[in-house]
Amino acid sequence: MKCLRYIYSFFRKHYFTYSALVMVLATAVAWLFFRFGRQATTSILLIYILALVLISCGTEGYRYGLGAAAVSVVCINFLFIEPVFTLTFTPSGPISFLGLFAISGIASHTVTSLRRQAKQLAAQERQLAEAEKEKMRANLLRAVSHDLRTPLTGIIGSSSAYLSNADFYSEADKQKLVQNIHDDANWLLEMVENLLSVTRIQNDCKQLKTSPEVVDEVVAEAVVTLKKRHPNAQISVTVPEEILMIPMDAMLIEQVLINFLENGLTHGKSDKPLLLTVENEPEQVLFRVIDHGLGVPADRLATIFEARSETLPAVDGYTGMGIGLSICKTIITAHNGTIGARNHDSGAEFYFTLPKEEHHEP
């Protein structure tokens, strides 16, 4: 396969060599027809027409195709029209010459037009890709501006209270304020690291570094982290009995799980426990977070993972939301997984899948 690609690349850079080789092969095949079938004039003409089409498609511009047409007329006249090995100008000569020139010109024009259109489409696709990147950057900035406000507000509030009323606080109260500052600072650091990772993913998904991780441990870490932020949260976790290891960036997947759980806690508005389930499927592992609350408005299900300015405050951003549902989609897509949301009879379900190691495509 590499050899074929090398040959193709060589001829793409050496159009004259390519054209000459095609003409030599066409002439050799035509000579065989001529030697073993004296009534093979039509076949010989078709062989040269095929050669012109191949040259027109394999080169750029018109000169190689038109030059090959001229050579074809000379070869046919010199090698295959009696008396052979002499140039005999007959009334049919100009007609053949014009016919082959027309075929070559039409083929070259068609190929040139198709290539021009392909270049235009490629340029448009690049523009769309750049526009999508700019959109993602804007969405990321909106997520940053909202999500970083929560820990920063907590740090400023606790530090201001400590500085202004230190003399009136007991040691236990002071310790609590310092602990709050410490927790919020760690939360802020974790969010910044995740945002940097997401920015790397958006620039080039191939840079995402994954390693085999135990699914149970990742789920447990996500739940523990959520419990620190929401001590009263009720979560029912169900995982397979067998040990599952799949390639992932554990920190980013934990953040997605935390995002889904916090989404259920904040928007579910239910006293029933959240359900976090992990299901072992033949080619992938399915993660589901189910709440028993209000559900997602039907008109937002299709676009809930798209961070739009008009929907971001209501659906894709709130205190403790993390990095946003749109960024979760970026993370799961970078892992070659799928992500989605749907309603059930008494609430909403957010889910994503990650491919198993043997089916993972780096």
Report the pLDDT value the prediction gives residue 307, as an integer from 0 to 100.
56
Q: What's the angle, vertex CA 145, arms to CA 142 and CA 148, rounded to 5?
A: 130
Average pLDDT over residues 41-53: 81
Report the pLDDT value the prediction gives residue 236, as an integer from 0 to 100.
93
Report the pLDDT value the prediction gives residue 180, as an integer from 0 to 100.
85
Q: Judging by DSSP bridges, how do beta strands 274-280 and 235-238 pair with one another?
A: parallel
Least confident window among 201-215, 224-238, 253-267: 201-215
Residue 161 has pLDDT above 80, yes or no: yes
Confidence of residue 313 (pLDDT cuts 50, 70, 90): very low
Q: What's the angle, vertex CA 99, arms to CA 97 and CA 103, rounded to 5?
A: 120
Q: pLDDT by residue (tens digit) across 242-279?
A: 999 999 988 889 888 988 998 888 777 777 889 999 99
Query: Three-state SS for 344?
Result: strand
Phi, psi (rounded to 5 degrees) for 320 = 80, 10
Query: Three-state SS for 287?
Result: strand
Whether residue 195 is found in the same domain as residue 224? no
Sign of CA dihedral 261, 264, 267, 270: negative
Whole-number average pLDDT of the chain? 78
Among 102, 120, 138, the domain-final residue is 120
Average pLDDT over residues 71-94: 72
Residue 358 has pLDDT above 60, yes or no: no
44 domain residue, yes or no: yes
Report the pLDDT value the prediction gives residue 219, as an integer from 0 to 100.
95
Residue 199 has pLDDT above 70, yes or no: no
Report whether 293 contacts 350 (CB < 8 A).
no
Report the pLDDT value the prediction gives residue 317, as an integer from 0 to 100.
37
Could you please report the per-residue DSSP string of 114-147?
A: HHHHHHHHHHHHHHHHHHHHHHHHHHHHHHHHHH
Whether residue 52 is found in the same domain as residue 185? no
132 domain residue, yes or no: no
DSSP assignment letter at 346: T
The domain that holds 299 is classified in CATH as 3.30.565.10
311, 137, 258, 206 alpha-carbon torsion, rounded to 10°: 140
Q: Which helix (H) or strand (E) holds 312?
A: helix 312-315
Report the pLDDT value the prediction gives residue 113, as an integer from 0 to 100.
79
Whether residue 222 is found in the same domain as residue 351? yes
Whether residue 255 is found in the same domain as residue 347? yes
Residue positions counted in the chain:
362
Residue 122 has pLDDT above 80, yes or no: yes
Q: Which domain holds residue 279?
A: 208-359
135 domain residue, yes or no: no
Among 120, 139, 172, the domain-final residue is 120
Least confident window among 132-146, 149-163, 271-285: 132-146
Question: By percentage, how much of the chain surpasses pLDDT 70?
Answer: 77
Report the pLDDT value the prediction gives residue 218, as an integer from 0 to 100.
94
127 domain residue, yes or no: no
Task: Specify the number of domains making up the chain.
Answer: 3
Neighbours of 112 (CB within 10 A): 16
234 domain residue, yes or no: yes
Q: How many helices (H) and strands (E) does the chain have?
A: 11, 7
Average pLDDT over residues 214-233: 88
Look-up: residue for tokens 């070659």? 336
116 domain residue, yes or no: yes
134 domain residue, yes or no: no
Q: Residue 166: exposed, middle, or buried by beta-carbon count in 10 A (0-12, 13-18, 19+)?
A: exposed
Task: Report the distance separating Cα 292 and Cα 344, nearest Å.
Answer: 9
Task: Report the distance separating Cα 353 and Cα 335, nearest Å.
Answer: 9
Residue 326 has pLDDT above 80, yes or no: no
Structure tokens at 155: 């740090």
Report the pLDDT value the prediction gives residue 352, as an integer from 0 to 100.
96
Q: pLDDT by residue (tens digit) across 87-108?
A: 766 655 566 667 777 777 777 7
Whether residue 215 is found in the same domain as residue 355? yes
Whether residue 95 is found in the same domain as residue 232? no
Could you please report the per-residue DSSP string of 161-190?
A: HHHHHGGGS-HHHHHHHHHHHHHHHHHHHH
Q: pLDDT by residue (tens digit) across 331-343?
A: 898 889 999 999 9
Whether residue 104 is found in the same domain as residue 153? no
Least confident window among 116-125, 130-139, 303-312: 303-312
Whether residue 297 is found in the same domain as residue 267? yes
Whether residue 337 is found in the same domain as residue 353? yes
- State pTM to two decimals: 0.53
Residue 351's beta-bridge partner residues? Answer: 288, 340
Whether residue 291 is found in the same domain as residue 339? yes
Residue 284 has pLDDT above 80, yes or no: yes
Report the pLDDT value the prediction gives residue 320, as an integer from 0 to 100.
39
Whether residue 217 is found in the same domain as residue 355? yes
Among 203, 218, 250, the domain-final residue is 203
What is the chain's alpha carbon radius of gyration, rounded to the nearest angstrom? 34
Whether residue 23 is found in the same domain as residue 116? yes
Residue 16 has pLDDT above 90, yes or no: no
Task: Report the distance separating Cα 313 and Cα 145, nearest Å.
Answer: 12
Report the pLDDT value the prediction gives residue 214, as an integer from 0 to 100.
93
Cα 143 from chain centre: 21
Average pLDDT over residues 224-243: 87
128 domain residue, yes or no: no
